[in-house]
Chains A and B, each alone.
Chain A
Amino acid sequence: MFDAPNTKIKNIDIAIVGFGNVGRSLAKLIVYKRQVLEDKFNLRINVKAIFDSKGAVVKEEGFSNYELLKLTEIPRSKISEFENGLRGASLKEIYDKIKPNIHVELTPSNYIDGEPSTSNILTALNLDCNVVTATKSPLVLHYDEIFSLTKKKGLKVKFRGTVMGGTPFIDLLMSLKSYEIIKVEGILNATTNFILSTMYEKLISYEQALAEAKAIGVAEADPSIDIKGIDAAAKLIIIGRLLGKRISLDKVERDDISKLTLNDIINSIKENRVIKYIATIDESSASVKLRSLEKSDPLANINGTTNAVRIVTDSGDLFFVGKGGGGMETAHSVLDDIISIGVSS
């Protein structure tokens, strides 16, 4: 079904900006899938530049498999120490030289001013690069600016990795064109869902469950973005945009899950209910709240790092379950976005 023999290989030149977990997974995934992409889609993805917080490496003809794998072995923020690495390189200077087709934004989200990702994306668009981003904050804080420039330039911005990063949820939602979407609600944050389900499973306090989440790497050292609902709220804002709603971060009502006690959990068990951290967006409001659900509610049965969303539409409910994030999972979404721009451009 995918075969298209004797078609010329199409080269897609990309630059990866941000080289943490997802960036490294993406570099590896491009190596792992190189042959399949050439055979199935006649696409060759050339990584021409990689940036981290301190510098960059550039190769005009694209990095080889060997170099990409070696780059993933470089310690964090040390990419400029690789052969021919550059310290403090500017995006514009390098893009003028290598002219990538796609800018891949994978820097951490920053909900205070959206930097450096917003400037990176605007610079890339101004230089006629399409954009794939897994970073949420530019879309949350500067959506209009980014998309008006995208439209003006006739480019594409894709962001499947931002919400339920390990699944094609964003693509699914965008494809629901004939439905009226009344409400979207669900479990959008893996860390907090892991904490909650661990509290139920082992009957331990919030602090103990958080410690477990940190121990196995599900929670960051500073988990406040997750436990204060900022991450889930950011995802709601992106979903809202796809539904034509414009909401700002401070308008999303949020609970802090650290206030939850083991007593709350035990009481809910007695009442045959389950407390979940539910993100909801409908016609008039958006919120990330601790909600007590009937045990029979499908969302009450989503545990661990799994995410789930219910889309309430005029023709019934749709229910979508899948992996939240993770380096490799998100890298798959990012690569799919790259391929989709690649095959259509």
Chain B
Amino acid sequence: MNNPQVIKIGGSLLRSSKSYVESAQNIKKFIEEKETTPIVVVSAMKGATDLLIKVAENNDKHALKTFIENYLNVASELDNYSLLERVKYLLDKLVKVSEGNVNDLKRFDLILSFGEKISKLILTSALENEGIKACSLDADELIITNDKHGDAEIDLGMSKSNVVVMKELISEGILPVIEGFIGRSYSGEITTLGRGGSDYTASSISHMLNASHLYLITDTPGIYSSDPNLISNVKLVKELDYQEALEASLFSIKRINPKTFLPLLNSNTEVHIGLWNNFNTTVRNSTSVSKDQKVKVIGYKNEGGGEDNIKIGIVGREAPKDSEVIKRVIETLASDGIDYNEIYINKNRPSISIAVSKDIFVKALSSLHNSLIEVR
């Protein structure tokens, strides 16, 4: 049997019943074109997790009401009685849990898990409406994590024997749909994997089942060279290796959870990031990534300690090794009159990082981007 392929559907794509139907149609097209049954990992509907955080943190009744209405609307519009019953069953459970009103990380994770769980049922039902044999699998049974609630790590060794069932199902032509973002701790409780955790679920499953391709489907055509909200002339990044992608995610590029790329280091899974019909970014093994482009991404992160410091990261495997790049970074900062507090040329990681004060970081980001990426 060929190695499996994994598709992860991001929440940014799931906004209405129509978008679930479209996702199902796109999966159907994928099956027909690639002649293979994929494994599908699904996120919660757009905005659902934010509402649940309000429910969990402040017992926000309005947020709960909105969450319930959003999902009930989608489920009703799909016009499937059994789906609606099951969505209602989960929503009833959520209401009961929310009444507990206890501040506790376990309860927090339990509440947050409902967004993905319901989304999975809806997508499975939409797939069946398209005539695909699809089944919902439960991440809180199959994905085993440590006990770190809110930011759990997947135990790949322990989960592997559980997720093998997906391979059996696809060999029978059954499409497994599993929710991302959640897992089950060693002590049997529901855990969540942190923001953007569905990508991490998908990459972990890809690792465990030795997938040939992982498609992270989102609402942008790929990874941009910097934050498009701050930089107007961003470029799409064509290729990254896993280490570079990990580094870029640490500098908050596309809000990908940094844990996503950890299971893939040393793997052979090709990761494609983009829209259904347009995957511009590929992440693959470093041996098959061209070395021509020295700087690929310029991101940033808030530094833990100093509140007023922002760390800008210039990401690219060759960047910290190349004296031309380093020279250009220093010259750019000097010629544009940008004061920096620290420059760090990392020999073990694919980045150069520069600490600048918060009030000038956008200018610094823009100068460096123009100099290193725009004008090459």
Contacts and interface: CB of A to CB of B under 8 A. Distances in A.
B47 interface: no
Given A75-B86, A323-B188, A65 B168 contact: yes
Contacts of A69: 135-137, 174
B158 interface: no
Contacts of A55: none
B376 interface: no
Contacts, number: 72
A211 interface: yes
B82 A74 contact: yes
A321 to B, nearest CB: 13
Interface majority SS (helix, strand, loop, mixed), chain A? helix
Contact of A73 (B93, B136, B168, B174): B136
What is the interface residue range for chain B against chain A? 20 to 34
B86 A214 contact: no
Interface residues of A, number: 30
Contacts of B102: 212, 215
Contacts of B156: none
A31 interface: yes
Interface string B198-239: 000000000000000000000000000000000000000000
B107 A66 contact: no
Nearest to A326: B188
Contacts of A64: 172
B85 A66 contact: no
Interface in A301-333: 304-305, 323, 326, 328-329
Nearest to B135: A69
Interface string A34-65: 11100000000000000000000000000011
A214 B107 CA distance: 12
B165 interface: yes
Given A32-B165, A216-B106, A66 B172 contact: yes
Contact of A216 (B85, B97, B168, B174): B97
Interface string B98-135: 11111000110010000000000100100000000101
A34 B168 contact: yes
Interface string A183-224: 000000000000000000000000000011011110000000
Interface majority SS (helix, strand, loop, mixed), chain B? helix
A289 interface: no
Contacts of B326: none
Contacts of B85: 75, 78
B141 A328 contact: yes
Nearest to A198: B102
B107 A216 contact: yes
Contacts of B106: 216
Nearest to B141: A328
Contact of A65 (B96, B100, B169): B169
Interface of B: 82, 85-86, 89, 93, 96-102, 106-107, 110, 121, 124, 133, 135-138, 141-142, 161-162, 164-165, 168-169, 172, 174, 187-188
Q: Identify the 7 closest CB pairs spanning chains A and B, nearest first.
A: A215-B100, A75-B85, A69-B135, A32-B165, A66-B174, A215-B97, A212-B102
Given A36-B161, A65-B168, A326-B188, 9 more contacts: A64-B172, A75-B85, A78-B85, A81-B82, A211-B99, A212-B102, A215-B107, A217-B96, A329-B188
